[in-house]
Structure 1
Amino acid sequence: MIIDTHLHLIYRDRLSYPWLREVPALDADFTWEAYSREAKRLGISSVLHMEVDVAPEDIPAETEMVQELSRTPDSLIRGVIASCRPEDRGFAAYLEAQRANPFVKGFRRVLHVVPDDVSEGALFRENVKRLSGTGLTFDLCMLPHQIDKAKALVDLAPDVTFILDHCGVPDIKGHGYDTWKTGISEIARRDNVRVKISGIPAYGDLDNWTLDDLKPYFEHVISAFGFDRAIWGSDWPVCTLGGGLSTWVATTQALLHGCTAEEKDKLFSGNARHIWQLG
């Protein structure tokens, strides 16, 4: 069975998503009903919702909406990775409020859509350190040229588990393997970092990517992190830009050809179950 650690749901009638205006292909409603219909056919048994960079004032409402959906009959949703703003003075109070809700499993602040120096601010770094001892994870969604900034954050809180989203966001279409490879090797040396096998078809040629295009990237992250520190995510609906959910599941299975059943289990479910204590 598969645990999807990276599902995005979009309900434009309930929340505001300012960035959608610049991505017409995703400027639509992507609902739980649409996702779960396909997911249940593919063996996806549990899901974590990943924040969708809603307008800051809608951050609490996003968590509330997903928690509401988790209470529907036969829901697979087991928790959320909530949005946050560590650069804001209100983060400490926000963190304490979220700690009181066991449905919140971790946080993410998308950093490739803001100036590079946001994560270098003293308040941002102080607030990241506040995650120490909480058991909450922090997802890193950063571009290859930002890897030094990612390493700096990881080193601030050695007991916090950081998740490197989308294999480190490689520029597959632009053949950016060499630049990306070095950074992956460096951040993988930090024991508190995990890598998420997700999203990479969206970084290739959307209409013409092949399995061979993705193989070098998959093989390197597994070589650097090992199967003990890799987890799987769909990145739905972003994955629809490069083929869709079923295509990505089948592609992952093909990338895993020749791997052991134990290795596949760790990637698809075992590691995620351990990190977030999922039943």
Structure 2
Amino acid sequence: MFIDTHLHIVDRSALPYPWLSQAPALDHDFLYETYAAEARRCGITAALHMEVDVDPAAMQAETDHVASIAKKAGSLLVGAIVSCRPEEQGFPAYLERQKADPFVKGFRRVLHVVPDEVSEGVLFRENIRRIGGSGLTFDLCTLPHQASRVTALVDLAPDVQFVLDHCGVPDIRSDAFAPWKAGLSEIARRPNVVCKISGVVAYADAESWTAETLRPYIEHVTASFGWDRVVWGSDWPVCTLGGGLSTWVAATHAMLSSSSETERSKLLFANAQRLWSL
């Protein structure tokens, strides 16, 4: 049983994605039906949609589009992590609207695609603190060299539940383990951060990686955060850059082969159920 905490749906006929023109490998439609057919075969029983950095004017439209898919009979979708702009004055009102929608489980603002000054701004940080006590999470999508900025933000908002995406995006392809490890360990010292083991196949060499290539990264995450503060995600369709959904699920099983049933259950579904009240 898997709960996928990181699914992207790309439907260019429904929503604008300005960044896709700069990412030709992903500049295609990746529809829910395609994902669901493979996900069910892999044992995925539920999924959270992760925002896909649509044009800011379409943020609410993206949430509404995904919610309409979730309402269909038999849908795997059980919630959404939605886009936001905490650096803007309108965030408090936006937060209140999302709090009123039980389908919304959290927020994300990708921070490695904007200047670091964005997350260091007074308004950004004030608005992030507003999330505390709402029951909604905030996903951190950052690069290893931004670890100190992650810890600074997390320390300023101790009442907010943060989720670090993609194991902190290690550069597995270049074998840059040491600098990633140090930053990840420091982030893990913060009890209000959960780490998402998601999509790391996209950061390895697509032609040569194996489960053993990924194992040191996954083992460091679980050792640092503990089994109560890790969740699993596919990062579909980005994971297709490293082999695809079924391959990532198979690698996950291989890396968990020596883990206990309790540990596997926490990572694959139980922690997600608790964190997002699924």
Kindly provide the CA deviation profile for residues 25-63 of structure 1, in whole angstroms up to 9, marking residues without a partner as x. Answer: 110000010000011111111110000011100100000
Question: Equivalent residues in 2 for 1:28-67 (5 A)?
Answer: 28-67=28-67
2:137 aligned with 1:159: no
Once residues 152 and 102 of structure 1 are traced to their aligned partners in structure 2, the CA distance between those partners, rounded to angstroms, is 30
Kindly provide the CA deviation profile for residues 187-233 of structure 1, in whole angstroms up to 9, marking residues without a partner as x. Answer: 10111100000011111112221222111111111110111110000
SS in 1 for 2:46: strand
Once residues 39 and 199 of structure 1 are traced to their aligned partners in structure 2, the CA distance between those partners, rounded to angstroms, is 14
Structure 2 residue aligned with 1:275 = 275
Once residues 268 and 134 of structure 2 are traced to their aligned partners in structure 1, the CA distance between those partners, rounded to angstroms, is 25
SS in 2 for 1:75: coil
Which amino acid is the alignment partner of residue 268 of structure 2?
F
* CA RMSD in angstroms, aligned pairs only: 0.7
Count of aligned positions: 278
Structure 2 residue aligned with 1:68 = 68
Once residues 117 and 143 of structure 2 are traced to their aligned partners in structure 1, the CA distance between those partners, rounded to angstroms, is 14
Which amino acid is the alignment partner of residue 134 of structure 2?
T
Once residues 36 and 118 of structure 1 are traced to their aligned partners in structure 2, the CA distance between those partners, rounded to angstroms, is 36
2:16 aligned with 1:16: yes
Once residues 145 and 20 of structure 1 are traced to their aligned partners in structure 2, the CA distance between those partners, rounded to angstroms, is 24
Which amino acid is the alignment partner of residue 274 of structure 1?
R
TM-score in terms of structure 1 length: 0.98
After TM superposition, give the deviation of residue 159 of structure 1 in Å.
Answer: 2.0
Equivalent residues of 2:132, 2:161 under 8 A apart: no
Once residues 199 and 258 of structure 2 are traced to their aligned partners in structure 1, the CA distance between those partners, rounded to angstroms, is 22
Once residues 169 and 82 of structure 2 are traced to their aligned partners in structure 1, the CA distance between those partners, rounded to angstroms, is 20
Identity %: 61
- In structure 2, stretches of 5+ residues that fail to align are none
Question: Equivalent residues in 2 for 1:1-279 (5 A)?
Answer: 1-278=1-278
- In structure 1, stretches of 5+ residues that fail to align are none
SS in 2 for 1:107: strand
After TM superposition, give the deviation of residue 97 of structure 1 in Å.
Answer: 0.7
Equivalent residues of 2:138, 2:160 under 8 A apart: yes
After TM superposition, give the deviation of residue 82 of structure 1 in Å.
Answer: 0.3
After TM superposition, give the deviation of residue 250 of structure 1 in Å.
Answer: 0.4
SS in 1 for 2:47: strand
